Amino acid sequence: MEYVLVTPRSLSKSGHPSLEKIRAAGFDIVYPSPGAQPTEAQILAAIPGAVAYLAGVEPIGAGVLEKASKLRVISRNGTGVDAIDLDAAKARGIEIRRAEGANARGVAELAFGHLLAAVRGISSSDAALKAGGWNRQKGRELEGKTLGLLGCGKIGKLVARFALAFDMEVLAYDLYPDSAFAPPGSFRFASFKEVVAGADFISLHCPPSPDGRPLIGSSEIAAMKKGAIVVNTARQSLVDEAAMLAALENGQIAAYTIDAFDIEPPENRAIIVCPKVIATPHIGGFTDESVDRATDVAVDNLLDSLIKKKTIGLAR
């Protein structure tokens, strides 16, 4: 029987009702690493017989795709495809499908939760109190403050609306600004430099640069307001962590939050253990609702591609 690889941790650990549609279509399901992000070796061992791949955030490089002799489609249960070697996939005729916007609400809510936790010192206050201390940390209110968005797609737009509901001002930078997006309140699109320099708080909602260079490095941090807070629920590689740690130490940045890591669990924990950092284990899209939406879309995309390619093959 032809089989489908399924690697997202939220699915490989406990399954999902939508996966039954794959079996009903006549395909078996293989989990290379149930409940964990698969290693390259585990993917290589399973990929040769797979006709489709429901993928998580693990890297899928040219070396893996060279072994994928039967693979017709890679379907992500999210939006980002930066971990996939798209050129190698195209060369082999492998279709790439994305569950666009399916987890936007979950990620946006977590991003705003990170901001609230950072601006009020919720995590550090909780830890101190549980340790027997009584450390009252003075916070800041959001009203009248400026939130800068670097990336204003489906997630960024939701975060903008949340901020406006808190009577904040919002500046947004996007490579392709949506002129139709004009929420009520103080919102406008601006240049990258204006957002970085003018915001009290900055939230990242964009993919990594193709050349791998951080979006936020030492020069961008230096241009920010002293005491700014940076929220990163997008990708670890967007931020130069050495520069960020130095800025946290000297007070240029008041707090930094992160949810997604290049390697999960992360091997380098320097940023995580910093007292001014709030870190969560990639839970942005890990809600009942987001998982359901993303899985439904990813499975439907996968089956659509399989059936389409099979039909094309029969026609030939």
13: number of Cβ within 10 Å: 12
Please list the residues that pair with 173 across neighbouring strands. 150
End-to-end Cα spacing for the chain = 22
Radius of gyration of the chain (CA): 21
Cβ neighbours for 140, distance < 8 A, ≥ 6 positions apart = 119, 120
Length of the chain: 316
| pLDDT recorded at residue 303 | 97
Q: Is 199 exposed, middle or buried (0-12, 13-18, 19+ CB in 10 A)?
A: buried
| pLDDT recorded at residue 315 | 41
| pLDDT recorded at residue 88 | 97
| Better-predicted residue by pLDDT, 67 or 264 | 67
Q: How far apart are CA 112 and CA 107, in angstroms?
A: 9
Q: Which of 56-60, 107-111, 141-145 has the lowest average pLDDT? A: 56-60
| pLDDT recorded at residue 289 | 96
Is the pLDDT at 256 greater than 70? The verdict is yes
Instruction: Give Cα separations from 3 to 57, 58, 84, 99, 165 (angstroms).
Output: 20, 19, 20, 21, 47
Would you put residue 87 in left (φ > 0), alpha (ψ -120 to 50) or beta? alpha
Residue 316: pLDDT band (50, 70, 90) is very low
Q: What percent of the chain has pLDDT over 70?
A: 97
| pLDDT recorded at residue 5 | 97
Is the pLDDT at 1 greater than 80? The verdict is no
162: number of Cβ within 10 Å: 20
Q: Is 26 exposed, middle or buried (0-12, 13-18, 19+ CB in 10 A)?
A: exposed
| pLDDT recorded at residue 80 | 85
Taking a C-beta distance cutoff of 8 angstroms, is the pair 220, 191 a contact? no
Structure tokens at 226: 């002293």
Q: How far apart are CA 202 and CA 235, in angstroms?
A: 14
Structure tokens at 277: 């950092």
Is the pLDDT at 192 greater than 80? The verdict is yes
Residue 311: pLDDT band (50, 70, 90) is low
CB-hemisphere CA count at 13 Å for 130?
Answer: 6
Please identify which residue in the block is written with the tokens 């490579």.
Answer: 175
Asked if omega into 265 is within 30° of 0 (cis), the reply is yes
Which of 179, 221, 219 has its CA nearest to residue 199? 221
> What does the pLDDT look like over 13-26, one tens digit per residue?
889 999 999 999 99
Q: Which amino acid is at 248?
A: L
1: number of Cβ within 10 Å: 7
Q: How far apart are CA 208 and CA 84, in angstroms?
A: 13
Q: How far apart are CA 94 and CA 117, in angstroms?
A: 42
Calculate mean pLDDT across residues 124-147: 95
The catalytic residues are 235, 264, 282
**Helices 122-130 + 104-120 axis angle, to 10:** 60
Max Cα separation, the chain? 74
Average pLDDT value for the chain: 94
> What does the pLDDT look like over 201-242, one tens digit per residue?
999 999 988 888 999 999 999 999 999 999 999 999 999 999
| pLDDT recorded at residue 10 | 86
> What does the pLDDT look like over 170-185, one tens digit per residue?
999 999 999 999 999 9
* DSSP single-letter state for residue 120: H
With b for 16 or more beta-carbon neighbours within 10 A and e for fewer, the 72-85 pattern comes to bbbbbbbbebebbb
